[in-house]
């Protein structure tokens, strides 16, 4: 466990050296700037616009970080041949994969925390959000974190056997398709063919369902009279369990593939 944590710590340091965290300053500025500009453009609901934009930006920025760092995690070690030095030490291959994954989650966590603080600041600037809205941000950001953790696991899996460009494409396309799972199932049902219906149903379960993490948006966070969409804790817990299961599966697959690789 100590070795995994040591690799995670080093991965975190490595990603920070990649200057990824600089995007946070830009993000905070964009948030505050947009809160001023968009307040002029919309008709009512300024606070909801800030929340929707903020949560959307956290999600997009997070996805970019997850994909573009995730795809290089293992590939870079192979490319620079540092993997020989690492594996010459008493480090097992699965520890390397898990450590890399945890390190990137650490980076994502820090990024999300700073971006959430920026969003809370922008929200506070308007002075219109109810006091409870700040706490209600946490489950919303928590779900975004889970979806990013899943995307990271996908990126890591592809980086164990593919080039960074292909891994980025695979991860991005699976993220996109992962929003259409329900449509694939419905398409199968509408086709009238038992085989296509079975295929649609199988794909519904096999492809990671990113729609599971869209449970809370600006409406759920604000909870004003017009946006009374309560947060269902069981739905959030279900999404958490789903993410954990899928991540465990993807990491196990990554470990198996990485363990079988021949580095000669």
Partner 1 sequence: MKSGGGRHPGTRSGAVAALVLAALLVKPVQDFIDARAPAGEEPDLLFFNSPELVRKMALGFEPLLADLYWMRTIQYYGRRDDEGRRRESFENLHTLLDITTTLDPGLQDAYRAGSCFLSEPPPVGAGQPELALELLEKGARSHPLQWRLVYERGFVHYLYLKDYAAAGETWLEAARVPGAPEWLAGLAAMALSKGGAEEIAVSLWRRQYEEATSDAVRDNARNHLHSLQVKRDLAALRDRIERHRAATGSFPPSLGTPRDPMGTPYAYDPRSGRVDLDPASAVRCLDVP
- What does the binding site for partner 1 look like in residue numbers (CB under 8 A)? 38, 41-45, 48-49, 52-53, 55-56, 59, 176, 179-180, 183, 210-211, 213-214, 217-219, 226-227, 229
Nearer to partner 1, 56 or 130 (CB): 56
Nearer to partner 1, 8 or 50 (CB): 50
Size of the chain in residues: 264
DSSP class of residue 226 equals G
| 32-39 LR contacts (CB < 8 Å, sep 24+) | 32/118, 32/121, 32/122, 32/125, 34/122, 35/122, 35/123, 35/125, 35/126, 39/126
- Provide, rounded to whole angstroms, the least separation between the CB of residue 176 and partner 1: 6
- Provide, rounded to whole angstroms, the least separation between the CB of residue 60 and partner 1: 8
Nearer to partner 1, 33 or 56 (CB): 56
- Provide, rounded to whole angstroms, the least separation between the CB of residue 104 and partner 1: 21
Contact in structure between 230 and 136 (CB atoms under 8 Å): no
Q: What is the secondary structure of 68-87 as a DSSP string?
A: HHHTHHHHHHHHTTHHHHHH
Nearer to partner 1, 150 or 251 (CB): 150
């Amino acid at each position: 466990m100590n070795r995994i944590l040591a690799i995670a710590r080093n991965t975190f340091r490595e990603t920070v050296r990649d200057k990824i965290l600089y995007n946070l300053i830009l993000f905070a500025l964009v948030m505050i700037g947009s809160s001023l500009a968009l307040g002029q453009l919309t008709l009512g609901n300024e606070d909801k616009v800030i929340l929707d934009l903020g949560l959307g930006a956290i999600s997009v920025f997070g996805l970019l970080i997850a994909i573009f760092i995730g795809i290089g995690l293992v590939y870079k070690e192979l490319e620079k041949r540092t993997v020989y030095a690492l594996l010459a030490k008493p480090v097992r291959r699965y520890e390397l994969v898990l450590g890399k994954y945890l390190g990137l989650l650490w980076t994502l966590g820090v990024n999300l925390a700073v971006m959430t603080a920026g969003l809370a600041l922008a929200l506070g600037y308007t002075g219109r959000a109810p006091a409870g809205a700040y706490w209600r941000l946490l489950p919303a950001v928590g779900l975004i974190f889970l979806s990013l953790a899943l995307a990271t696991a996908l990126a890591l899996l592809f980086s164990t056997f593919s080039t960074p460009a292909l891994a980025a494409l695979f991860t991005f396309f699976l993220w996109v398709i992962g929003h259409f799972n329900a449509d694939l199932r419905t398409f199968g049902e509408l086709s009238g063919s038992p085989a296509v219906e079975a295929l649609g149903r199988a794909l519904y379960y096999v492809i990671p369902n990113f729609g599971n993490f869209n449970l809370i948006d600006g409406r759920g966070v604000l909870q004003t009279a017009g946006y009374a969409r309560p947060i269902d804790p069981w739905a959030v817990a279900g999404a958490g369990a789903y993410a954990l299961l899928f991540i465990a599966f993807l990491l196990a697959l990554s470990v198996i593939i990485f363990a079988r690789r021949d580095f000669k």
